[in-house]
């Protein structure tokens, strides 16, 4: 009888009450609130913090990630949060409600930071992003970052740049004070959104190979370097089809796919995880922001000769009511004309176009063909020449010096 | 100096005034309201209805299509329209405004018929679709047609089936009366939307090869069977990448692409039109309706062994506000697992998914890979497992008898 060890849902009483039972029906013993201290892969034994042991034939590492917290005084104060688990979200919501939170600082300007701007503003909370650099989400082109910054401004999110944090302490006008090189910043809530690192303590302790990325190495069947041990989700690496490197991209859809691949292989079917192309998206207020494939730096680091173009086109056909502009950036290899990456920003039609371009990347399409790709044209949805076509043809002309 | 002969824009005064001039700047002589009576390809001469002739080195046939009109008394009465050109649209709008049109009959239930339901209802005109068959737009699965029928009903469009038309005459309560096997139907406006046929009189007269479809045969450079003669747009065939047949799909985006390909080749560059996969879409009120690739009948006719599945999933991630269901149908070949076609219907996310699947079809992807395709997941845009993934995996299980 397989075990499932986890604490994912420990604070949600209804789920805790239902889940172990639900699993038991299918012959799975779910042990919640259980900590594994170490694993002995020779004996195939897992040791728990209460001193007991569990034996296994197959072990699946799904240890996820931990949000990065700077070693700084005050990060343990009440009102300082990270956002990773469902329980984090519940604790933040409870805190906001019970403490009548008026102002929040978001430290970090990645995905979580950007998404939380909307969540906090929609509750009427004054919101300020505090960032070490000068621009958010650096995966995107500066031209698109300007659009994101305007969207933040339009929604009254302030954005403080080049901030170095020093400490957090009790505040005066608000509950907390973040001391920085730019002076003290006060707020009732501070969200530390500085990224995550894979949890590999157990994996490293039992001798699993850890990749250059710091995450657990796996193969295409999600097997680790030790027989009988699989790894899935944010704690392990994933194969990037464009760079042909093993990378660490902690995203929910990738984790789901890896789980299913591991499950099939454990269950006796052969199933290969074909890898990813780096598709990603988030929404910030009204704006869709999406990207796929490689950026200039990664492309060059992998030996490609990247050239790029940005076009702005109509998300719908020109004269349609409610039309908005969508910006598409395409990046291709100069010598082969192969698509290497794409980015898109707009109030509509950005994510859908990145999905189509992800499929193009998956299949190693060249610009010539992308410029003539057959899309489902109708005026409510696009122009006869979609911005995808225009960008591909424009980039091709650029490569050919026309 | 090349000539451009056309009447596309003859009724729009502003355009007529501007266009020939605009072209003249680029060295093109535009002759509007000019009818070509025949072409002598030996002499490379075009004869006009006023008896004059024009010589050519290169001739581009862009004669388009004509809406099909049944040979029935009364189709020439005032208030009976077809909708093909910009001028048709202007005439219909003028008629509706000047005659205070209260009721319309749409004869035919294809794309134009469906799109016009929304246009007419949005003007407050009582609208009835009159159809020979029992369901509209037969490219789509009956399960999706039911959804379309419900959308028509919700918007108070009535749909009369198995209608055989007999004649049109002056009406009593309304301006016109359509006599049918189901009795007389009265309305102020009758739109005949029964499909189109390619205009090939000139082409056939000068000896161009006409394909099985009735449209002009071309090759991948848009060249016809006669040297120096090209054909583009709705009057010619196009290569279907999935059936590997030359087909007739009169759509604006295809016409645009063919025009550009012909232009490049005429101008001395080599450019190939890589063909289509049959992507198509329309909106009917709130509903997006889209399809790509082959249906069951076409697939079987081309030797494939089609299997299909329909899944309904969330257009956005489960708990997002404003979420709606999107239905995806996938069709694949049993022996190879290759995708052959797809259809989608829903208030959101149908067209975008068909675009992604069109790219998958273009690249001859198999279900195994489509089930793990990397899409830009974020809760505002999709679930971690998109309906595309679920449909591909479901269809694969069906093929494998799991």
Query: pLDDT tens digit string along A84-134?
Result: 988 999 999 999 999 999 999 999 999 999 999 999 999 999 999 999 999
List of residues 6+ apart from B364 with CB closer than 8 A: B338, B339
Does A69-194 match A281-400 in CATH topology? yes
ipTM of the complex: 0.93
Mean pLDDT confidence for A303-313: 97
Q: What is the average pLDDT value for chain B, to the nearest integer? A: 93
Across the interface, of B251, B281, B372, the residue whose CB is closest to A381 is B281
Q: pLDDT category, B14, cuts 50, 70, 90? A: very low
**Whole-number pLDDT of residue A4:** 64
**φ, ψ dihedrals at A298, nearest 5°:** -60, -40
Give the closest-approach CA distance of B265 to chain A in angstroms.
Answer: 15
Q: How many helices (H) and strands (E) does chain B have?
A: 10, 24
**pLDDT tens string B362-393:** 999 999 999 999 999 998 888 899 999 999 99
Burial B233-244 (b: 16+ CB within 10 A, else e): bbbbbbbbbbbe
Question: Does B12 have pLDDT greater than 70?
Answer: no
**Whole-number pLDDT of residue B10:** 41
**pLDDT tens string B179-222:** 999 999 999 999 999 999 999 999 999 999 999 999 999 999 99
**Whole-number pLDDT of residue B6:** 54
Mean pLDDT confidence for B247-268: 96
Yes or no, beta carbons of A376 and B358 under 8 Å apart: yes
User: Positive or negative CA dihedral for A125, A130, A136, A138?
Assistant: negative
Question: Does B109 have pLDDT greater than 90?
Answer: yes
Q: Which fold has domain B280-400?
A: FAD/NAD(P)-binding domain (3.50.50)
Give the closest-approach CA distance of A357 to chain B in angstroms.
Answer: 8
Question: Does A5 have pLDDT greater than 80?
Answer: no
Mean pLDDT confidence for B23-44: 86
**Whole-number pLDDT of residue A31:** 84
**Whole-number pLDDT of residue A323:** 79
**Whole-number pLDDT of residue A315:** 83
Yes or no, beta carbons of A378 and B283 under 8 Å apart: yes
Question: Does A371 have pLDDT greater than 60?
Answer: yes
**pLDDT tens string A15-28:** 455 566 777 777 77
Residue listed under structure tokens 């009109």 = B69
Interface test with A, best of B140, B241, B284, B376 (most A CBs within 10 A): B376
Q: Which fold has domain A281-400?
A: FAD/NAD(P)-binding domain (3.50.50)
The helix/strand/coil state of B226 is coil
**Whole-number pLDDT of residue B32:** 81
Q: Which residue of B has its CA nearest to A276?
A: B374
Indicate the CATH number for domain B35-63+201-266: 3.50.50.60
Query: Is domain A35-64+198-266 annotated with CATH 3.30.70.141?
Result: no
**Whole-number pLDDT of residue A318:** 73
Across the interface, of A253, A352, A369, the residue whose CB is closest to B355 is A352
Question: Does B326 have pLDDT greater than 60?
Answer: yes
Where in chain A are the domains? 35-64+198-266, 69-194, 281-400
Mean pLDDT confidence for A295-320: 92
Yes or no, beta carbons of B277 and A374 under 8 Å apart: yes
Give the closest-approach CA distance of A319 to chain B in angstroms.
Answer: 14
Across the interface, of B349, B355, B365, the residue whose CB is closest to A376 is B355
Yes or no, beta carbons of A378 and B281 under 8 Å apart: yes
Yes or no, beta carbons of A376 and B280 under 8 Å apart: yes
Mean pLDDT confidence for A63-78: 96
Q: pLDDT category, A316, cuts 50, 70, 90? A: confident
Yes or no, beta carbons of A252 and B377 under 8 Å apart: yes
Question: Does B19 have pLDDT greater than 70?
Answer: no
Yes or no, beta carbons of B365 and A369 under 8 Å apart: no
Q: Are B361 and B354 in contact (CB under 8 A)?
A: no
Yes or no, beta carbons of B351 and A275 under 8 Å apart: no
Q: pLDDT category, B15, cuts 50, 70, 90? A: very low
Give the closest-approach CA distance of B143 to chain A in angstroms.
Answer: 21
Interface test with B, best of A137, A267, A288, A376 (most B CBs within 10 A): A376
Question: Does A1 have pLDDT greater than 70?
Answer: no
**Whole-number pLDDT of residue A7:** 46
Query: Is domain A69-194 annotated with CATH 3.40.50.720?
Result: no
Mean pLDDT confidence for A216-241: 98
Q: What is the average pLDDT value for chain A, to the nearest integer? A: 93
Q: Which residue of A has its CA nearest to B273?
A: A372
Q: Are A277 and A362 in contact (CB under 8 A)?
A: yes
**Whole-number pLDDT of residue A321:** 76
- CA dist B202 and B224 (Å) reads 13
Yes or no, beta carbons of A362 and B373 under 8 Å apart: yes
Q: pLDDT category, B275, cuts 50, 70, 90? A: very high
Q: pLDDT category, B11, cuts 50, 70, 90? A: very low
Nearest CA among A298, A272, A167 for reference residue A218: A272
Instruction: Tell me the whole-structure pTM to 2 decimals.
Output: 0.94
Yes or no, beta carbons of A372 and B273 under 8 Å apart: yes
């Amino acid at each position: 009888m397989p075990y499932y060890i986890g604490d994912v849902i420990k604070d949600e009483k209804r789920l805790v009450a239902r889940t172990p039972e639900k699993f038991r029906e299918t012959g799975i013993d779910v042990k919640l609130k259980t900590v594994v201290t170490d694993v002995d892969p020779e004996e195939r034994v897992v040791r728990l913090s209460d001193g007991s042991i569990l034996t296994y034939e197959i072990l699946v590492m799904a240890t996820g990630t931990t949000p990065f917290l700077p070693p700084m005084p005050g990060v343990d104060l009440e009102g300082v949060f990270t956002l990773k688990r469902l329980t984090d979200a519940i604790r933040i919501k409870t805190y906001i409600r019970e403490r009548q939170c008026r102002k929040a600082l978001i430290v970090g300007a990645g995905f979580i930071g950007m998404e939380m701007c909307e969540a906090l503003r929609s509750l009427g909370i004054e919101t300020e992003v505090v960032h070490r650099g000068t621009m958010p989400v650096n995966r995107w082109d500066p031209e698109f970052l300007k659009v994101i910054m305007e969207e933040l401004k339009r929604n009254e999110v302030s954005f403080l740049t080049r901030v170095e944090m020093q400490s957090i302490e009790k505040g005066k006008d608000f509950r907390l004070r973040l001391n920085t090189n730019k002076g003290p910043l006060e707020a009732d809530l501070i969200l530390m959104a500085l990224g995550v690192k894979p949890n590999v303590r157990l994996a490293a302790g039992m001798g699993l190979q850890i990749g250059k990325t710091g995450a657990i190495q796996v193969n295409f069947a999600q097997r680790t370097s030790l027989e009988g041990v699989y790894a899935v989700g944010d704690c392990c690496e994933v194969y990037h089809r464009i760079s042909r490197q093993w990378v660490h991209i902690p995203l929910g859809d990738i984790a789901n796919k890896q789980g299913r691949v591991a499950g099939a292989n454990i269950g006796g079917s052969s199933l290969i995880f074909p890898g990813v192309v780096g598709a990603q998206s988030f929404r910030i207020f009204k704006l869709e922001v999406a990207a796929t494939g490689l950026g200039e730096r990664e492309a060059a680091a992998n030996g490609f000769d990247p050239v790029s173009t940005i076009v702005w086109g109509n998300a719908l056909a020109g004269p349609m009511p409610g039309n908005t502009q969508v910006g598409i950036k395409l990046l291709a290899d100069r010598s082969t004309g192969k698509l290497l990456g794409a980015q898109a920003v707009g109030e509509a039609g950005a994510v859908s176009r990145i999905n189509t371009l992800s499929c193009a990347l998956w299949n190693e399409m060249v610009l010539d063909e992308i410029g003539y790709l057959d899309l489902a044209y109708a005026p409510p949805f696009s122009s006869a020449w979609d911005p995808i076509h225009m960008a591909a043809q424009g980039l091709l002309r650029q490569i050919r010096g026309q």
